[in-house]
Amino acid sequence: MILVPKSCGACSVCCKELMLDLAGSLKLAGVLCPHAVPPFGCGIYDTRPEVCRSYFCGWHHLPSLGAEWRPDACEVLIAFRTGPAPDGKKDGIEFMLTGARAKISWLPLVEYIATLIVDNDPVYLSLPGEPGYQSPGVYLNDIAPLTDAIARRDFAATTAALTQALQVCSDYPKTPLPQALA
């Protein structure tokens, strides 16, 4: 396979949706970084903080994902969870829906999540956190209606279970950031 280098282009989703420690100054989730100059990207690209240089964007690093998966196009931000998770769950891949909730039934997304779960890769679904609050997310691999639907290759039931999981995220009580971060 020939890998074509991916470019962020006009995307600045991570510069808005993630909470970042920008060299001592905290940028809250849901707030566009003051250094972002959409649609041109980062206004301080050459001197951007280390946290931005080392950010692992799922779209960039998963070679099977084409241009339609760029986060500003598909409204899904893919991130890798690493290190001990506060909820005790495993490392894995997180899909954050940053736009319309209806995107949960996007065929490539449903198929990709199903493939990862079949392969026993830990998968999370999340929504962006509001400024000052944590991003609500759910671990998908333990949701029996979802795994059963995937095992039956039932697309409608898989989509319905993912929609239900997204609703759980949406209904999750808002959790303020730890005081040290707020």
Contact set with ligand SF4 (CB under 6 A): 8, 11-15, 20, 22, 33, 35-36, 42, 44, 48-49, 52, 57, 59-60, 70-71, 77
Nearer to ligand SF4, 36 or 62 (CB): 36
Q: Shortest approach of ligand SF4 to residue 162 CB, angstroms?
A: 21
Nearer to ligand SF4, 8 or 149 (CB): 8
Exposed / middle / buried, residue 153 (Cβ in 10 Å: 0-12, 13-18, 19+)? exposed
Q: 45 vs 31, 36, 56, 133, CA distance in Å? A: 18, 9, 16, 27
Q: Shortest approach of ligand SF4 to residue 126 CB, angstroms?
A: 14
CA dist 34 and 32 (Å) reads 6
Nearer to ligand SF4, 44 or 160 (CB): 44
Nearer to ligand SF4, 60 or 101 (CB): 60
Q: Shortest approach of ligand SF4 to residue 2 CB, angstroms?
A: 20
- In eight-state DSSP terms, residue 40 is S
Q: Shortest approach of ligand SF4 to residue 52 CB, angstroms?
A: 3
Helix, strand or coil, per DSSP, at residue 77: strand
- The separation between the first and the last C-alpha atoms of the chain, rounded to the nearest angstrom, is 45
Q: Shortest approach of ligand SF4 to residue 143 CB, angstroms?
A: 26
Nearer to ligand SF4, 67 or 102 (CB): 67
Peptide bond into 39 cis (omega under 30): yes
Residue 162's nearest CA partner among 126, 128, 119 is 126
